[in-house]
Structure 1
Amino acid sequence: MNRKITLVIPVYRSAKFLHKTIKAVDDQRKESNWDLEVILVEDGSPDNSFEIVEKLSKEYSYIKGIKLSRNFGHQIAVKTGLHYATGDYIAIIDDDLQDPPSLLPRFFSQLDMGYEVAYGVRKKRKEGKIKKLAYNSFYRLLDSISETKIPLDSGDFCVMTKNVKDKMLTLNEQNPYLRGIRAWVGFKQIGLEYERSGRIEGESGYSLKKLIKIAKDGIFSFSSLPLQIISLLGNFGLFISVVFTLFTVIRYFSDEIEVAGYTTIIIMMLFFNSILLISLGIIGEYIYRIYNEVRNRPYTIIEKTINT
């Protein structure tokens, strides 16, 4: 059966090499004889990426271009692209060929076999040691605290059926963590190992700030552990208070109470104030996210589209 294929590709700072990515996609299209649709979502890139998208859309008729009014972030860009995807099978890949289109036939074959989702599991990464350590630590932390089983070392690179895509889009979250949502909706899924390539050119658009935001989205969207930590801190603080009270009472009846006690008081005040501030920060994070949801703002603004 000839199924329509959609590739969703977020575009950011890729004006210099986007044509190489599309060339690789087109080569695979010809080899696999795809009925193809490519959705390029330009996420408020500071370079002239959208001009390149416009040129490519004239050269390749199956390209649809979407320009967001500003940088809303990778996850929002992908979610926007999914809304425009009309294929029977949908793939999410990056614009820098770290997830080569040549891998896709292997992934699509799993959908032909009855799976609803086939996601990539990164066997090797081409980042520095510190960054790899941070990624590995985060994925294992999230796996240990998440109420939804999110596969280890899996990113956004995946293929899915239209059915799964439609179900994912029913979750209209302002701060989506798509690989978590993909796991949450369920269905028959399989992970396939692959060796992730290095970027063909340029530097990653993921700054430390953006990486921290994605990590927070994953933790706060799929775990209640931060709230449980508040209870643990409260119980720990209560335990310290009881022990210190007993210690003080014993000293009182032993006539060991001194007027001096400034250091002890300061230490106790700093300890409990720290617990209060940590607790307020965690509660504030949840309140802010609730506030974002109840405002019911659109999660993105589209400035311009091509061929949609």
Structure 2
Amino acid sequence: MPNDRLTVVVAAYNEAQSLPVLHPRISAALAGIAELDGRVLYVDDGSTDDTWRVLCDLAFADPRVTLLRLSRNFGKEAALTAGLDLVTDGAALILDADGQDPPELVPDFVAKWREGYDDVHGTRIARAGEGWLKRTTAHAFYRLIGRLSKTPVPADTGDFRLLSPRSLAALRQLRERHRFMKGLFGWVGFRSVAVPYERDARIAGGSKFNFWQLWNFALEGITSFSSAPLRVATYLGLMTALVAFAYGVWIIVKAFAWGDPVAGWPTMMAVILFLGGVQLIGLGLIGEYLGRLYDESKNRPLYLVDEIRPARSDATQRA
């Protein structure tokens, strides 16, 4: 009997074109690892195309495949959480459904896991198929959150990683609603190691994230793992107050010394607009954090499951 069990978790949303190409690569990678009980878990995150039908076909042809279908689209972070929650035996390896993260590296990840590492993550050294703007903004985001957050978030590292059983058990204890998985992986800690690789272009279809969604995702990550924006607002307000106080003193001194018969309307409007803008920025940052507290207080489930289809190999073993 194999000594180790590994479940490859793939969250998919409208990936009917890429999954038939990706699954044979996953199967080949698992088959090439000695003494490993390899499984595949697909999470359908409320797809509106033929993704579920394609997944059912894959499960029919491969007895190692488990299917999990969510009741609607909850987002990638919730879909990954649902998949990882279902892995209660052995380790889990997260893989994107678009094929950009190569399954051929799974043996390298497993080798590091067997050496005793709990978090084996892939670090991108190249990003094929992406424009300069996306590469530049991604590079800047990872450096920014690395400086702002006390939680270690490895640079140029996505969700492509292997998590040991104790890392999975620790991760299941973190039930916050606003989930930035890259930060949660770092917060859990334990022994981690990076595996550098070159990220490929998508094997089919198009990206499900536009720049507005990526901006909101970056904001989610920063506000979830750092209070630095609130501190910046505090410092900005303090500096503005000091400048305003100094300017007020200057006006009083000027009026006493030389007089000021005509009030300066442009100066007054500039000061009002500047102070109002600073106040709105501060209120907006406070609102971001208060909104997260409001969502957490409702205590809703992270996701709802529509259907689970266990792997046929598990059913055979139970029988």
TM interval, short-chain normalised: over 0.9
Counterpart of 1:261, as a letter, is G
Q: Is the 8 A contact 1:3 1:87 kept in 2?
A: no
1:81 to 77, 80, 83: 83
| 1:184 match: secondary structure | helix
- SS of aligned partner of 1:195: strand
SS in 2 for 1:65: strand
What is the Cα deviation at residue 199 of structure 1? 0.8
Amino acid in structure 2 at the alignment position of 1:245: G
Q: CA deviation at 1:100?
A: 1.5
CA distance in 2, matches of 1:97, 1:234: 47
Q: CA deviation at 1:307?
A: 1.6
Q: CA deviation at 1:17?
A: 2.2
Shift of 1:179: 1.3
Q: For residue 39 of structure 2, what is the amino acid of its counterpart?
A: E
CA distance in 1, matches of 2:279, 2:267: 18
Judged with a 3 Å threshold, the aligned counterparts in structure 2 of structure 1 residues 87 and 103 are, in CA distance, closer, same or farther, namely farther
How far apart are residue 119 of structure 1 and its match? Answer: 0.5
Q: In the TM superposition, what is the alpha-carbon distance from 1:274 to its structure 2 partner?
A: 0.5
SS of the aligned residue for 2:266 comes to: helix
- Give the CA deviation at 1:254: 1.5
TM-score normalized with structure 2 length: 0.93
What letter is aligned with 2:96?
D
Q: State the match for 1:39 in structure 2.
A: 41
Alpha-carbon shift at residue 246 of structure 1 (Å)? 1.5
* 2:144 paired with 1:138: no
Q: Give the Cα separation in 1 of the matches to 2:121 and 2:127.
A: 16
Q: How much has 1:78 moved relative to structure 2?
A: 0.6
Deviation (angstroms), 1:209: 3.1
Instruction: After the TM superposition, list the runs of 4 or more consecutive aligned residues in structure 1 that deviate by more than 6 angstroms.
Output: none
Residue 116 of structure 1 corresponds to 118
Contact preservation (8 Å) 2:30, 2:106: no
Equivalent in 256, 259, 263 of residue 259 of structure 2: 256
Q: Which moved more, 1:205-214 or 1:120-129?
A: 205-214
In the TM superposition, what whole-angstrom CA distance separates every residue of 1:231-258 from its partner, at most 9, and x where no partner exists? 1111111111112112101111123313
Map residues 105-184 of structure 1 onto 2, 5 A cutoff.
105-126=107-128, 127-184=130-187
- Percent identical: 32
TM-score by length of 1: 0.97
Aligned length: 308
**Is the deviation greater in 100-109 or in 64-73?**
64-73
CA contact (8 A) 2:32 2:107 kept: no
- What's the counterpart of residue 189 of structure 1? 192
Please name the residue that 1:223 is paired with: 226
* Helix, strand or coil at the partner of 2:174: coil
Matching residue within 190, 194, 212 for 2:215: 212
Shift of 1:46: 2.2
The CA deviation string for residues 151-202 of structure 1, in whole angstroms up to 9 with x for no partner, is 1111110001011011011010101111111111110111111111111111
Question: RMSD between aligned alpha carbons?
Answer: 1.3
The superposition leaves residues 79-101 of structure 1 with CA deviations (integer Å, 9 ceiling, x where unpaired) of 11001113412100011221121
Matches of 1:154 and 1:28 in 2, distance apart? 21
Task: Could you tell me which runs of 5 or more consecutive residues in structure 1 were left unpaired when the two chains were aligned.
Answer: none
SS in structure 2 opposite 1:67? strand
- Whole-angstrom distance in 2 between the partners of 1:124 and 1:155: 13
How far, CA to CA, are the matches of 1:253 and 1:17 in structure 2? 76
Counterparts of residues 61-72 of structure 1 (less than 5 Å): 61-72=63-74
